[in-house]
Chain A
């Protein structure tokens, strides 16, 4: 079973700072990895999906990388804004179709 871990559990940064969120996984035979955002009391919004054949994906100020050999993915957020405050979750399929999620990183961007 694919185990997914996220560090740190919480992060607070001042507005404008660039930051990196970390995700590690145990099975290097990963099919893909997905990053989600969750706002308080809301569902999950898909941010980026990286296929196993890809090294990175970019969307606006977000860049996600995937290193299968080291079992790591990072989500880079450039020029952070208070509106980026949310919980960020990474997830990978576990054998079948179910996604295995990390417990998330709670990000607070202060003005």
Chain B
């Protein structure tokens, strides 16, 4: 079946603009995760959804970052007033039940460049 999809694949924006990144998880997966991969920083966790609620937002770097999930499916990560340090690859993953032992399946990512 279809894997995790993300759009857009690439986004170039100017400093100060808002951006929205979209994630479509694998059908039937209740858990959804957002990660960020920056050059030299590795992968860092941003936020976790179980259904439509986000019990763990601990990784969001500032209040400019927010995310929502509707219908237990699609999720949108919004970055307001983008800064150059927001440039990174944003990866989305989903898992079947959100249990600690679940395998997480990753999408191809959105490469964000803030000029």
- A and B associate in one complex: yes
Q: Is B25 an interface residue (CB 8 A)?
A: no
Q: Which residue of B lies closest to A51 (CB)?
A: B101
**Known A96-B48, A97-B31: A43·B107 in contact at CB below 8 Å:** yes
Q: Is B104 an interface residue (CB 8 A)?
A: yes
Bound Cα distance A103, B33 (Å): 19
Q: Is the interface of B mostly helix, strand, loop or mixed?
A: strand
B39–chain A nearest beta-carbon distance, Å: 11
Contact of B106 among A31, A44, A51 (CB under 8 A): A44
Q: Is A63 an interface residue (CB 8 A)?
A: no
Total interface residues in chain A, CB < 8 Å: 25
Contact with B along A52-96 (1 / 0, CB 8 A): 000000000000000000000000000000000000010101101
Q: Return chain A residues, CB-CB under 8 Å to B109.
A: 42-43
Contact A43 B45 (CB under 8 A): no
Q: Return chain B residues, CB-CB under 8 Å to A99.
A: 33, 35, 43, 45, 104
Q: Return chain A residues, CB-CB under 8 Å to B42.
A: 101-104
User: For chain B, which range describes its interface: under 10, 10 to 19, 20 to 34, or 35 or more residues?
Assistant: 20 to 34
Bound Cα distance A84, B66 (Å): 37
Contact of A97 among B6, B43, B91, B100 (CB under 8 A): B100
**Known A43-B108, A44-B91: A97·B103 in contact at CB below 8 Å:** no
Contact with A along B1-22 (1 / 0, CB 8 A): 0001010000000000000000
Q: Which residue of A lies closest to B44 (CB)?
A: A101
Q: Which residue of A lies closest to B108 (CB)?
A: A43
**Known A42-B108, A98-B33: A49·B103 in contact at CB below 8 Å:** yes
